[in-house]
Amino acid sequence: MNEMSVSSVDVGELLGKELGDLHLDILCGASHLDNSITNPRVQKPGLAFAGYYPYVKPGRVQIVGQSETEYIATLSAKTRRERLVEITSLPIPVMIITKDLPPPPDLIELCREKEVPVLSSPCLTSTVIKRISYFLEDHLVPSTQIHGVHLEIHGIGVLLIGDSGVGKSESALDLITRGHSLVADDQVTVKRYPNGELLGFCRAPLKHHMELRGLGIINVQDLFGLAAVRDRKSIDLVIELERWEAGKVYDRLGLEESLYRILDVPVAYIRMPVALGRNLSILVEIAARNHVLKIQGHHSARDFARRLEEEIERTRRAQTH
């Protein structure tokens, strides 16, 4: 199983295009933008300014807004400096001052001394908190890489896995020509969000591309249009393509419910044997359709087994009378 990793975000990443609307400027600490942010929750250090330092948690972005700056302005110079010395000595990766407010006296000097970058934004505090929280939640969640092909089929996310050369990409291409959409080919990045949802996507430069033996790299969006690709999609069903082995027992009724764990999240799982003459793309499409029915409460195999048992029971009773 692929290893799980929990990423960290360098302070410098906050200055990228994703948060460009915050117009963040560096007030100090440009040489320490490699400080690591490890906690997706941001916080306002108001209680710390009031002298309660355990409130400041390691690895969190500290947001200094108008209420904090107005409060610290009421303190004497001695008390203010003492508290700022304590706060800047804590494991803080970065401070962000909102609304283009002037930084409190001594803050820049002490942050420079303690290697804590200070950024400034003209935006409202609520806007900065919302945007940075969303950014960090998206970047600081458990993730893993899976070798496979991720598709959207009938509205659900289907992950095809299996040995190299078993036919994953070829089946995916056939499904794309049938109107379904590619999310990722070869390397699927999967993230687990706090609500338990698994989202798969493809990192650049492989995004929207597929590798086909004998053809090389193709751009699916260029060939089939925008509707043929998706940037990201949940993973709702895992189908493992495996080469047919004579004598091996395969589930023929579909009564067995198997699960495949990704980042400790169980996902519906099907083993599908690959043999000459089998149209894999149609079988994968039917498996996706059948999974949608199961989600809606219709389990064909169980319904068949139940009716069969009822018929056997009726026959038995008729024979006893």
Give the least confident one: 83-92, 207-216, 298-307: 298-307
Which among 123, 129, 4, 115 is positioned nearest to 60, based on CA atoms?
129
Which among 314, 289, 11, 306 is positioned nearest to 139, based on CA atoms?
11
Neighbours of 315 (CB within 10 A): 10
Mark whether 98 and 209 lie in a shared domain. no
DSSP per residue, 249-296: ---SS----EEEEETTEEEEEEEEEE-TT--HHHHHHHHHHHHHHHHT
Q: Of the residues 99, 106, 186, 302, which is catalytic?
A: 186
Separation of alpha carbons 190 and 233, rounded Å? 10
In the chain, the number of structural domains is 2
Q: Of the residues 168, 180, 230, 291, which is catalytic?
A: 168
233 is catalytic: no
Supply the CATH number for residue 296's domain. 3.40.50.300
pLDDT mean over 16-34:
96
Contact in structure between 167 and 185 (CB atoms under 8 Å): no
Q: How confident is the model at residue 252 (pLDDT cuts 50, 70, 90)?
A: low
DSSP per residue, 150-172: EEEETTEEEEEEESTTSSHHHHH
Confidence check: pLDDT of 253 > 90? no
3-class secondary structure, 91: coil
Tell me, yes or no, whether 82 lies in a domain.
yes
150 is catalytic: no
Tell me, yes or no, whether 318 lies in a domain.
no
CA triple 157-143-44, angle to 5 deg: 115
Give the least confident one: 8-17, 195-204, 308-317: 308-317
Question: Which domain range does residue 16 map to?
Answer: 5-139
Q: How confident is the model at residue 246 (pLDDT cuts 50, 70, 90)?
A: confident
147 is catalytic: yes
Tell me, yes or no, whether 261 lies in a domain.
yes
Mark whether 101 and 157 lie in a shared domain. no
Confidence check: pLDDT of 94 > 50? yes
Residues 6+ apart with CB under 8 A from 110: 81, 84, 85, 88
pLDDT mean over 59-70:
95
Mark whether 291 and 162 lie in a shared domain. yes
pLDDT at position 1 is 47
Distances in Å between the Cα of 219 and the Cα atoms of 58, 80, 190 are 43, 59, 22
Q: Give the neighbor-by-neighbor strand order of the sheet with 61-64.
A: 25-28, 118-120, 94-97, 61-64
Q: Write out the two tokens for 119.
A: 């950024």
Write the single-letter amino acid at 311.
E
Mark whether 55 and 68 lie in a shared domain. yes
Contact in structure between 12 and 19 (CB atoms under 8 Å): no
Separation of alpha carbons 114 and 87, rounded Å? 10
pLDDT at position 164 is 87
What does the DSSP 8-state code read for residue 148? E
pLDDT at position 285 is 93
> Going along the chain, which residue ranges are E strands?
5-6, 9-10, 25-28, 36-37, 61-64, 94-97, 118-120, 142-153, 156-162, 181-192, 198-201, 209-212, 216-219, 232-234, 237-243, 258-262, 265-274
pLDDT mean over 272-301:
83
pLDDT at position 255 is 59
- pLDDT 10s digits, 220-236: 999 999 999 999 999 99
Q: Of the residues 23, 41, 130, 147, which is catalytic?
A: 147
Q: In the chain, pLDDT over 70 holds for what percent of residues? A: 90
pLDDT mean over 123-134:
96
Mark whether 33 and 95 lie in a shared domain. yes
pLDDT at position 257 is 78
Task: Look at strands 181-192 and 142-153 and give their pairing.
Answer: antiparallel
pLDDT at position 305 is 59
Q: Which of 101, 121, 139 is the last residue of a domain?
A: 139
- pLDDT 10s digits, 193-225: 888 899 999 988 889 999 888 888 999 999 999
pLDDT mean over 107-117:
96
3-class secondary structure, 215: coil
316 is catalytic: no
End-to-end CA distance of the chain, in Å?
A: 57
Q: How confident is the model at residue 314 (pLDDT cuts 50, 70, 90)?
A: confident
Q: Of the residues 252, 316, 317, 321, which is catalytic?
A: 252
Q: Write out the two tokens for 96.
A: 């962000």
Mark whether 77 and 157 lie in a shared domain. no
Q: Write out the two tokens for 95.
A: 């401070």
Confidence check: pLDDT of 321 > 70? no
Separation of alpha carbons 103 and 108, rounded Å? 7
Mark whether 175 and 269 lie in a shared domain. yes
Tell me, yes or no, whether 293 lies in a domain.
yes
Mark whether 262 and 181 lie in a shared domain. yes
